[in-house]
Amino acid sequence: MKVPALATLALAGLAALQAETTEGPPNRRDLAGGAAITASAAPFLVFRETNYGAHYSACLGTLISRSWVVTAAHCLDTAGRQLTVRHIGYEQIQAFARPPGRADERRHITNHIHPDYVPIPDGSTNWTWEQEGTDIALVRLPRPFRSSRVTPARLPTATEALTIQPGLTVHTIGKTGRRNAARADWPIESKPSDSTITVRTDPASRYIERGDSGGPMLMRIGREWVLIGVSSSSISDVQTGQQKQLAAVNVSHYHEWIASLGVDGIEPPDSRLPSAPPPSTPRSRPGGTITLTLEAKDLTGLTCSIKTSNGRSVTGISYSGRTTFNWTLSGPFRRDITVNCE
């Protein structure tokens, strides 16, 4: 487990949730205190496991198609070994993992680690949020999951990505043993970089533990689950040692890269920011009158004019001691009226 220290007064360690590594299968809960979920509540969730000898390691991942999984890059240090990708509904795919160029896509699991990924060494104090935000990878399976219990999550649209801001409550999923999972709802606390988001955990009752790396952070839109983050590291308080934040990779930041890999159903992001709808065109009034009043303590020497959007105008000059201006306009006129005083 890598534990880079965070050199600030308030926070102590940036602890990678990491692939849980043990000398045998884990026998404890991983997302402590979360609400248990089933396959129907998280039909996109997979467990990624490696067994060789007495060694066992595990991470989580999120299906964004039936044959592509989003996970954390630091979970893929076991390339070349046999991996098991198990859906929460118990269908599983087992194969040897290979990097692109060395994988036979019909037989192997292909690990695509983002080219900008920067591993943070154990105990390092020399890291940045930008480096933390590179901890993302995609896994291509040699065949798709076929179970009717599988429903991939989707990536956020450009408009939805704009809502990923501090205060938004997100659903974070972690393991509870080898075959089960739990969910905790926490608010986004900050976006320390374009590629990173943090949420504030609740160490008194619910918190993330080792083995939860690569797990999803989601929001629910209608009946769809939208993947917005990939769990990467936890941050602890320097004084108490309690976990206080969870750091995750902002998935929308990597939409273009994900699409470039040829993930089925993923289109390149629209480079144009969403725009506001065009203003409605003012409608002409058939007739009537409108009276405007300007009032002040002293309007002496002030010249004011009023003009409507269809060209009608009235001008008035104030005399000594005058405190109000009154204008009466007769239609037709549009809604826009401009008053200018000099």
Residue 156 counted as domain residue: yes
pLDDT of residue 55: 64
Residue 167 counted as domain residue: yes
Residue 43 counted as domain residue: yes
116 within 8 A of 130, measured Cβ to Cβ: no
Which residues face 290 on adjacent strands?
A: 329
318 within 8 A of 300, measured Cβ to Cβ: yes
Cβ count near 174 (within 10 Å): 27
CA distances from 35 to 48, 176, 236 (A): 21, 10, 23
Beta strands in 76-222 (DSSP E): 82-87, 92-98, 109-113, 137-140, 169-175, 181-193, 196-200, 216-221
Residue 169 counted as domain residue: yes
137 within 8 A of 69, measured Cβ to Cβ: no
Q: Tell whether the model's pLDDT for residue 2 goes beyond 90.
A: no
Confidence of residue 313 (pLDDT cuts 50, 70, 90): low
pLDDT of residue 3: 36
pLDDT of residue 175: 77
Beta pairing, strands 45-52 & 82-87? antiparallel
pLDDT tens digits, one per residue of 143-185: 999 999 999 999 999 889 999 999 999 998 887 776 778 888 8
High-pLDDT (> 70) share of the chain, %:
59
Q: How far apart are CA 248 and CA 251, in angstroms?
A: 9
Residue 183 sits in the same domain as residue 315: no
Cβ count near 133 (within 10 Å): 26
pLDDT of residue 165: 92
pLDDT tens digits, one per residue of 37-92: 888 899 999 998 877 666 677 889 999 999 999 999 988 865 557 788 989 988 99
Residue 6 counted as domain residue: no
pLDDT of residue 329: 61
How many residues are there in the chain?
Answer: 342
Residue 194 sits in the same domain as residue 245: yes
Q: What's the total number of domains in the chain?
A: 2
pLDDT tens digits, one per residue of 98-119: 888 777 878 888 999 999 998 8
Residue 216 sits in the same domain as residue 145: yes
The whole domain housing 108 covers: 11-260
Q: How far apart are CA 1 and CA 123, in angstroms?
A: 10
Beta pairing, strands 92-98 & 109-113? parallel
Residue 233 sits in the same domain as residue 330: no
The pTM of this model reads: 0.69
Residue 192 sits in the same domain as residue 332: no
Here the CATH number for the domain that contains residue 203 is 2.40.10.10
